[in-house]
Structures are given as structure tokens and as C-alpha cells.
Amino acid sequence: MKRFLTAIAAGLLAVAAGTATAQTFPSKPIRMVVTFPTGGAPDILARTISEKIDPAWGQTVIVDNKPGAGGNIGAEFVARAQADGHTLVMGTVGTHSINGSLYARIPYDMVRDFAPVTLIASTPNLLVVNNDIPAKNLQELIALAKAKPGTLTYGSPGIGTSVHVSGELFNSLAGVKTTHVPYKGRQMAIPDLLGGNISMMFDNMPSAIPVVREGKLRAIGVTSAKRSASAPEIPTIAEQGLPGFEATSWFAVFAPANTPKPVIDKLHAEIVRVFGLPDVQAKMKTLGLDLILGGPDELAKTQAAEIAKWAKVIKDSGAKAE
């Protein structure tokens, strides 16, 4: 009985300590690490939080871009940070579902080293080609790739990104060989795509759609199971002859493991409030980002399912980090 009462008391003290922590949180600026350079969907989402955080919190959210190694550098930084809610990462399907299977070794555990906070949004990728590529649809592109094996190249903002594995999935399902050209961020890849130095790219919708609408690139198809509400005129890759092709990017906030639950709950509530603002929702729709705003449990379930999915895709395709 004495041990039981001691355990109960310890539990009550832990709850009280967590509640007190949440009441004083945040006590300093919050660092939101983005694992890729500026301009992409993760950066846009992080800066939206930074711009819209409730002034009543009395602290700012500082966006800290730490690109490199397919997002592993920034993710590891947060995994090793103090678990007090003041250092967060804008996680992606790459950093938190793909990299563990693609790399022989990564410097963090995608699950054990993090506490899920909020599954913010998802978006399909958009297959775009340089305007000089003589393919107007997916079947023409496949025919071109088969006629010239290894000649067509596709860029990505880094190994392990959804953009990279979308290309590997395309190679596998279409039975073609295109060559992956990794960059250190989307900003480095797009100029080469526009200039014809690479042939195509499975870019995130938020960054691809504006360029397509300006006529600078040609859209071939979206990687989601259904057409995107933001660009319903663009057919899916699946409906153009590759049934089962689906590669969706998602973006979520994670904290270091063992961050107190009351702090996690407070962060989640504020993120949901920010993305519930009418002007923010309108902006997200224009960019082709589908808001989810799932809590920690939903994020954990989504992550587990995505880890299993991409492990199979990577094994079947033979893809690996060079």
C-alpha cells in the first residue's frame, strides 16, 4: 500500500509540474526549425505560424532554416534539443517517414526521438517538365523515357524527400529509367529545370503551381489519388495509366521526445487557431495545401502508416541514398 500511495503521489506531482510548465510556457522565443531552404511548403507553413502567433503569448516564433542531408541535419538538431517546447521542427514525410528506410543510417530515430504535436497539412506533388520536352501527357513522357533510357533527368530538393521518392515510384511503376539529380533545395533545382539542364521534377504543389500558371513549366499530372481542388484541370498520374500511383507530401510539427503533454497541448491549440484564421485558410487553398490539423494521436498514426508504406516502396524500387 505504501508503494502504491508513493506512486500515486509521484504521478500527481508530475501532473502538477506539467501544468505549471504549461502555464509559464513559453518563457522565451520558440525556435521552429525548417529542414529545407526558404520558399518551399515547410518554410511557408513555419512562417505562417511565426507571423500569426497570438501576441498574448508574449514571445515570438523564430524560423530557423537548417537544410542538408535530406532534412536529417535539422531533424537531428531538434531531436537533441531540450524537451521544453521551445525548439520544434517542421517535419516532413521525408524526415519522419522516408529517411529511415532510404539511408543506411540516420542520426536520430524518427519515432522515439520526437513528440508529435500537429499534423498540419498535406499536398500532392506535381509532375512538371521543361517546356522543351516534347511530351504533353504522361503516356507521351513514358514513351520518351523508354525510347531514351537514362536520358531524362528529374531533380529534387534532396535525397529522401517526397519529390525524390515520387521519381523512384514513377520509374518502378512505369518501367522506365530516369536519372535522379539531387540538389540542396528547391531553389537550386528550379533554375536548372527552367533552363533545361534537368528534364522534370515532382515538385510540391505550393511551389509548382505558380510557375505552371506563369507558363514557365508544363504540368503533366498530380501524384494524389484524386485531382487537386486547387488545380482540378490537371489529371492524376494514376488516371493516366499508372493505377496505384500515389505520393502525398505532408507537414507536421514535432517537439523533442519527453516534452510535457500540457506544453504539447498548448502548442497544438495555438497551431490549430492560426490555421483556422480565414485569411490563412484562403492562402493555403490557393497554394494547394490541404489542411488537416490533426492532433498528436492522429499524427502518430499517420506517421506509422507512412513509414510502412515508404519502406515497401523503397525496397521494391531499390532506391537508396547515394
Predicted local confidence at residue 21, as pLDDT: 64
b/e per residue, 230-266, with b = 16+ CB within 10 A?
A: bbeebebbbebebeebbbbbbbbbbbbeebbbbbbeb
Q: Which domains does the chain have, with CATH numbers?
A: 28-123+248-317 (3.40.190.150), 124-240 (3.40.190.10)
Name the pLDDT band for 185 (thresholds 50, 70, 90): confident
Name the pLDDT band for 50 (thresholds 50, 70, 90): very high
What is the residue whose three cell numbers read 516534347? 134
Average pLDDT over residues 73-102: 96
Residues 6+ apart with CB under 8 A from 43: 34, 36, 37, 63, 65, 90
Name the pLDDT band for 322 (thresholds 50, 70, 90): low
What is the residue whose three cell numbers read 533527368? 153
Within 214-260, residue ranges assigned H as helices are none
11-25, 92-106, 110-124, 248-262 — which is least confidently predicted?
11-25
For residue 234, give the C-alpha cell.
Answer: 490537371
128-132, 141-145, 153-157, 187-191 — which is least confidently predicted?
187-191
Residue 154: what are its φ and ψ, rounded to 5°? -125, 135
Predicted local confidence at residue 14, as pLDDT: 47
Predicted local confidence at residue 316, as pLDDT: 79
pLDDT of 4 over the 70 cut: no
Name the pLDDT band for 160 (thresholds 50, 70, 90): confident
Q: Put residue 195 in one of left, alpha, beta given phi > 0 → left and psi -120 to 50 → alpha.
A: alpha
Name the pLDDT band for 254 (thresholds 50, 70, 90): very high
For residue 117, give the C-alpha cell.
Answer: 504535436
Give ∠ CA 153-247-277 in degrees, rounded to 5.
115
pLDDT tens-digit readout, 279-314: 999 999 888 889 999 999 999 999 999 999 889 888
Q: How far apart are CA 237 and CA 72, in angstroms?
A: 29
Predicted local confidence at residue 10, as pLDDT: 47
pTM: 0.83
pLDDT of 18 over the 60 cut: no
- Other beta carbons within 10 angstroms of residue 106's beta carbon come to 21
* Run of H or E including 309: helix 296-317
Helix orientation angle between 41-52 and 205-213, rounded to the nearest 10 degrees: 100
pLDDT, mean over the chain? 90
pLDDT of 9 over the 70 cut: no
Q: How far apart are CA 158 and CA 182, in angstroms?
A: 5
Q: Which range is most confident: 14-28, 84-98, 161-175, 195-209?
A: 84-98
pLDDT of 5 over the 60 cut: no
